[in-house]
Structure 1
Amino acid sequence: MENSSPKTTKKISGILYNQKIAPYVFVLPFLISFVIFFASPVLSAINMSFQSVLPGQVEYIGLDNYKKLWNPTFLKALMNSSKYTFYTLLILIPIPLILAVFLNSKVMVAKNFFRSTLFVPALTSVVVAGTIFRLAFGELEGSLMNTIISYFGIEKQRWLGKENLAMITLITLAAWRWIGINLLYFMAGLQNISKELYESAEIDGASTWDKFLRITVPLLKPITIYVFTISIYGGYSMFTESYMLWAGNRSPNDIGLTIVGYLYRNGLEQNNLGLGSAVGIALLVITFIITITQLKFFGMFKKEE
């Protein structure tokens, strides 16, 4: 028994130092956490989506939950989430990119101040931010936004009572919170671009616009695709912002209802976990298809020669 222990230790060490096995040993913690915290819940949700899961009653009902999804309320939530995602992409990609280019410029002064200022909103709790925006975009004449527009001769608006104005409020909140995060991603990408490329371009007579289009944008493609991908996920998974703006999951005519909000309404508020699981799986499929499509569009699956 005394001689077996050193042999066992030596055998284990040999396995760990094996070039074929060692990579799997290092990724094993990730694989275990992936199976426990992602794969298992997804498989469980898929199973529940074919069931009627009510308090004290569980039975398989086939595709009934998915058939119930195609109703005006779900389509409204899907449209709201799609609009929100589309408009946030129009803001959260180009604006942080342009700001990052300015902050990375040699002539820019007080860089650290602007970086900190733009990043501070990301540190703010979404609950606090949603509450503040609910007060700022309130219907009273003394609310911040109504006070501002009154200086331009515009009468007060029901920001959270009209569909278009409600979407503007949601997008404003998203831009305020996430521009600083995406700015850091682009700043990190710009730091990795060799300054010699810009110097060579200047020698060849390239303008600032030419350097931006022919050097900055192409070399930031991996970062841009990453930001694009997480922004799509963030857009379709948005819920807390809407919940806090309307102080609950019930907005006028469901103008603030999102897919996750619809999941919350069915799965938790109405205790129909089967239908809620079907909503979650539908959301997973939608985001997966959109993500794969945009990755295919940007050529991420092409092999580099």
Structure 2
Amino acid sequence: MIKRFLYSQKVAPYVFVLPFILVFLIFWVYPLGSSVTMSFQKITLGQETEWIGLDNYTKLLGDKIFLKSVMNSAVYMLCTLLILIPLPMLLAVLINNKFMWGREFFKSSLFFPALTSVVVAGTVFRLMFGEMDGSLINSFLGWFGIEPVKFLKGQVTGFIALLALATWRWLGVNMLYFLSGLKSIPDDYYEAASIDGASAWQKFRMITMPLLKPTTIYVLTISIYAGLAMFIESLMLWNGNNSPKNIGLTIVGYLYRQGIEKSNLGYAAAVGIVLLVLAMTINMIQLAFSGLFKKED
């Protein structure tokens, strides 16, 4: 009877989908619902809860440190988008060229940093951008007669180090996304364009970029979320969650500070909900502008 029930054409699809539904409900819907509830509460160390309505959200609006973390995350996200979308796309086009030699070597070399632990990478970059004369970057600057720079103590220089780490880690990953998109473009289009006398730039602008639009939208979507949710890179680069004047503090870093370091769980939950709403809003806007929600004729 049970076997007949499971092998039924009407029941079988639901049986196969059930594991995903359970995982989705247990590990996404339930935590999200709990976080929303907690964001309207004040939770003490003894796990006693008190319903305080919108007080946590009202407090966030006047919290200068929180607003600083939002600004840091927004700037980081925008800078990574400006670097980690056009540059990987150009590298993918270059490596995909049939006249390119050693393409497999370059693909594996650029992807290798993504396999490196972010803890190790952050530690290495912290030493590279150290303020001592003997640090790698300051040694390089010294060849040009430039005085040692305290990279991790300035807002701009700190972000340069953070973006260098992000570029090193994720350049190869995004490049592979674009390479997979390029493989789906028929060579006939480029051959026809060559016959018509199109230049390399014209082929890229009129063929490559339009046909890479689905891949670009995907990379843009995950990059927006990754930029806003960045935390461990900053944590390792500044060797903790307390960078000078909060120059490296992100939204997730502030959530960690409130929820883990200060055990202010209700306030931390409000920070998390704001992050979720912010990421979803930005992504919905960019998806709408990209025409993803338009009906096809």
Question: TM-score per shorter chain, which class?
Answer: over 0.9
Structure 1 residue matching 2:50: 3-state secondary structure: strand
Deviations 1:58-113 (A, max 9, x none): 11111111111121100100000000000000000000000000000011000011
Structure 2 residue 4 is matched with structure 1 residue 10: yes
What is the CA-CA distance between 1:304 and the residue it aligns to? Answer: 1.4
In the alignment, which residue of structure 1 is the partner of 2:44?
54
Tell me the distance in 1 between the aligned counterparts of 2:168 and 2:54: 41
Where do 5+ consecutive residues of structure 2 fail to align? none
Residue pairs, 1:187-198, within 5 angstroms? 187-198=179-190
Deviations 1:251-283 (A, max 9, x none): 100000000000000001000100000000000
2:174 is matched with which residue: 169, 172, 182?
182
Normalising by structure 2, we get a TM-score of 0.97
Letter in 1 for 2:26: I
Where do 5+ consecutive residues of structure 1 fail to align? none
Structure 2 residue 243 is matched with structure 1 residue 251: yes
What is the CA-CA distance between 1:118 and the residue it aligns to? Answer: 0.3
In the alignment, which residue of structure 1 is the partner of 2:105?
113
1:33 is matched with which residue: 23, 26, 35?
23
Identity %: 56
Structure 2 residue 206 is matched with structure 1 residue 214: yes
RMSD over aligned Cα atoms: 1.1
Tell me the distance in 1 between the aligned counterparts of 2:264 and 2:29: 22
Tell me the distance in 2 between the aligned counterparts of 1:148 and 1:283: 38
Tell me the distance in 1 between the aligned counterparts of 2:212 and 2:15: 33
Deviations 1:149-204 (A, max 9, x none): 11122111010000000011111100000001001100111111111111111111
Structure 2 residue matching 1:112: 3-state secondary structure: helix
Structure having the higher Rg: 1
What is the CA-CA distance between 1:27 and the residue it aligns to? Answer: 2.9
Letter in 2 for 1:299: G
Normalising by structure 1, we get a TM-score of 0.94
In the alignment, which residue of structure 2 is the partner of 1:226?
218
User: Does the 8 A contact of 2:119 with 2:233 survive in 1?
Assistant: yes
Tell me the distance in 2 between the aligned counterparts of 1:247 and 1:76: 19
In the alignment, which residue of structure 2 is the partner of 1:80?
72
Letter in 2 for 1:119: F
In the alignment, which residue of structure 1 is the partner of 2:82?
90
In the alignment, which residue of structure 2 is the partner of 1:68?
59
What is the CA-CA distance between 1:10 and the residue it aligns to? Answer: 3.2
Letter in 1 for 2:27: F
2:159 is matched with which residue: 167, 191, 198?
167
Structure 2 residue 124 is matched with structure 1 residue 136: no
Structure 1 residue matching 2:288: 3-state secondary structure: helix
Structure-2 change in CA distance of 1:145 and 1:199 (3 Å): same
Tell me the distance in 2 between the aligned counterparts of 1:205 and 1:167: 44
Structure 2 residue 251 is matched with structure 1 residue 241: no
Letter in 1 for 2:211: L
What is the CA-CA distance between 1:11 and the residue it aligns to? Answer: 4.4
Decide which moves more: 222-231 or 30-39. 30-39
In the alignment, which residue of structure 1 is the partner of 2:295?
303
What is the CA-CA distance between 1:29 and the residue it aligns to? Answer: 2.0
Tell me the distance in 2 between the aligned counterparts of 1:96 and 1:112: 15
